[in-house]
């Protein structure tokens, strides 16, 4: 009884905080003219339509939370947050989504579902880029509320809101995905890749913490098994080898709680149990080791830094006005 009361109170506080963020931030202008209240007159139910669509999808498949967050990252890292990741290839163009680094992306049908409803309610108004950004935010929020409401846990996740008003890009080319961080990157390469988009080393490590959700395919880490990797715990190496015995598409959770937003990912790095080489180097490199230690010891600090970094990521190279469009179909340019 007391535990349930505590959970209800905690959930109420989270909801109150989220509502307060929307009310207080509703009329705050963001970078490049993005606004929290961008759709308040043109499509007042846009936020709830996206949120309800994401909630339904995650109730059926909680692993989509990680997929939607990853989709947002892969969208923003190439050509900015412009929905270019959603565009299908044509006979004249191979799009971003068909590059090797994006073939494992999932959740496109969630975006399509939300877009279809929004086009019925407010034709030509809500951009696909904004839907992707809102879907990632709502996925994190769903994980938070789900954990507090249905699981016997005190963990959750960061709660944040984002300004809206992004336009959709008209370019999506496979060659641009060379700029995505690779799972074989060392720390210097990661810092450089994120730095080119305006992120500090601290923000890079915080964003890497998104790997507290989801899984990696064997093809992304099997190279660590064929070579002697001193950064990899020997027992965990056996676990990864067993996973890869099922083939390149076999999946290994990034940490022991793959559907829980917590700081277990950082604790795994301390134990030399990071799945990807680009994960583990965050701890083996002195420049980022203290950041990992800090997040491993202080989950609240990780949550705060992560939400700040996610808001910042959602503003990377946004397109406005004639620099973009609002696609009628997220899979193709108008």
Q: Please check if 243 is assigned to a binding site.
A: no
* Helix, coil or strand: residue 177: helix
Q: Please check if 84 is assigned to a binding site.
A: yes
Instruction: Provide the CA 269 distance to its chain's centre, in angstroms.
Output: 20
* Helix, coil or strand: residue 315: coil
Residues 51 and 127: their CA atoms lie apart, in Å, by 15
Q: Please check if 248 is assigned to a binding site.
A: no
**DSSP letter (8 states) at residue 82:** S
Q: What is the number of other CB atoms lying within 10 angstroms of the CB of residue 278?
A: 21
Question: Which residue among 7, 70, 72, 74 is the active-site one?
Answer: 74
Q: CA angle 81-82-86, nearest 5°?
A: 110
Q: Please check if 75 is assigned to a binding site.
A: yes
Whether 74 sits among the annotated catalytic residues: the reply is yes
Q: Please check if 320 is assigned to a binding site.
A: no
Q: Please check if 212 is assigned to a binding site.
A: yes
Report CA Rg, the chain.
20
- Alpha-helical runs (H) found in 186-244: 187-195, 201-208, 223-226, 234-244
Q: What is the number of other CB atoms lying within 10 angstroms of the CB of residue 152?
A: 7
Q: Please check if 257 is assigned to a binding site.
A: yes
The values of phi and psi at residue 120, to 5°, are -70, -40
Q: Please check if 262 is assigned to a binding site.
A: yes
Q: Please check if 176 is assigned to a binding site.
A: no
Residues 334 and 320: their CA atoms lie apart, in Å, by 16
Q: Which residues are annotated as a binding site for heme b?
A: 211
Q: Which residues are annotated as a binding site for Ca(2+)?
A: 75, 80, 82, 84, 96, 212, 255, 257, 262
Annotated catalytic residues are: 74
Q: Which residues are annotated as a binding site?
A: 75, 80, 82, 84, 96, 181, 211-212, 255, 257, 262
Q: Which residues are annotated as a binding site for substrate?
A: 181
């Amino acid at each position: 009884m007391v535990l349930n009361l505590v959970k209800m109170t905690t959930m109420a506080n989270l909801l109150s905080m989220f509502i307060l963020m929307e009310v207080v931030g509703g009329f705050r202008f963001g970078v490049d003219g993005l606004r929290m209240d961008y759709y308040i007159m043109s499509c007042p139910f846009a936020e709830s339509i996206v949120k309800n669509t994401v909630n339904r999808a995650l109730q059926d498949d909680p692993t989509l939370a990680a997929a939607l967050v990853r989709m947002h990252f892969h969208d923003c890292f190439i050509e900015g947050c412009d929905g270019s990741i959603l565009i299908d290839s044509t006979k004249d163009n191979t799009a971003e989504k068909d590059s090797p680094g994006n073939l494992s992306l999932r959740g496109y049908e969630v975006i399509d579902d939300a877009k279809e409803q929004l086009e019925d309610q407010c034709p030509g108004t809500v951009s696909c880029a904004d839907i992707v950004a809102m879907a990632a935010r709502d996925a994190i929020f769903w994980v938070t509320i789900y954990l507090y409401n249905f699981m016997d846990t005190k963990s959750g996740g960061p709660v944040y809101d984002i300004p809206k008003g992004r336009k959709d890009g008209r370019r999506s080319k496979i060659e641009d995905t060379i700029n995505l961080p690779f799972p074989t990157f060392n720390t210097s390469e990661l810092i450089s890749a994120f730095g080119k988009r305006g992120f500090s080393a601290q923000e890079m490590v915080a964003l890497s913490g998104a790997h507290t959700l989801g899984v990696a395919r064997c093809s992304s880490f099997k190279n660590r098994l064929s070579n002697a990797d001193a950064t990899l715990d020997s027992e965990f190496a056996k676990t990864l080898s067993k996973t890869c015995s099922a083939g390149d598409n076999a999946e290994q959770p990034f940490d022991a709680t793959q559907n829980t937003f917590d700081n277990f990912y950082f604790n795994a790095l301390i134990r030399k149990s990071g799945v990807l080489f680009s994960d583990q180097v965050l701890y083996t490199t002195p420049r980022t080791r203290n950041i990992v230690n800090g997040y491993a010891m202080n989950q609240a600090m990780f949550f705060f830094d992560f939400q700040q970094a996610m808001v910042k990521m959602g503003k990377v190279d946004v397109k406005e006005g004639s620099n973009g469009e609002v696609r009628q179909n997220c899979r193709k340019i108008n």
